[in-house]
Structure 1
């Protein structure tokens, strides 16, 4: 399992107390991981309502499977894997996984005023990511932000490593087009 750059430490005694059924300890774990799980789900699903559902499903699974946690890997890595699986399962259920990218002019982000530069860049990137098909957005996020390999992504998405590679390549080209970034590397 790859290690996220967003690793979150959790005291072993807190996990141990939650494993014994201590409600207060589980609530502390929930509060500690609520935002990171929601953010991860939002990046994969691209929808706040779906991300909220993934958060709830992930925490329910955590509650039921916490006794199975052996402590041989970082807790956040273990929980993150549950969240990724739940988000991808939700996408599969919705039959939203699309392998091909189609470029539509209507998908281009619209100019909406002049917020501060960093906020404008973040908002523009968010709109561009939302314009991508769910599969492409998921692969890009898992690969670039979460650090998964193409083989790991292929396994998670029940596809081939070449699917992951092509989604990263196509998705990057699509993001460049949506963000009006010229490719300075000429092959």
Structure 2
């Protein structure tokens, strides 16, 4: 009898631990194109969610040079002008779970779950995902992807940059 209860307990726990947790969230794909230039520097990138009135609902990610001596890398965050003017200058970096080092050319995926930082609970409404990139001895580019929250169904949304950013994808998870 005791072995039977242990087996049932083990099976029940395995079912609970193996079951996927379904939570609303966002999957953000960011492509940084490989550029054929004489002097290449990795771009600084800011990713945020903007309300319909252009105020910032949440900064999701900021990639910058965190290894510069005396935190000098944060001095260049203002080159991401739109993010800087809307919210960046009011933030104190580094921010746990938001800021991280710049990324190389390629495709990068970020996942955010509703109710956890940095994706706080978003009220229902219309928003824009905004991705801004700025590169030393390079250009600056902003790409936006409009979306409605909460998501009625899982759907991929896409936009494409032309210089500093490649394809930006937003996958809504209801």
TM-score by length of 2: 0.29
Higher strand content, 1 or 2: 2
Highest CA radius of gyration, 1 or 2? 2
TM-score by length of 1: 0.28
Higher helix content, 1 or 2: 1
- Structure number with higher relative contact order (C-alpha < 8 Å, ≥ 6 residues apart): 2
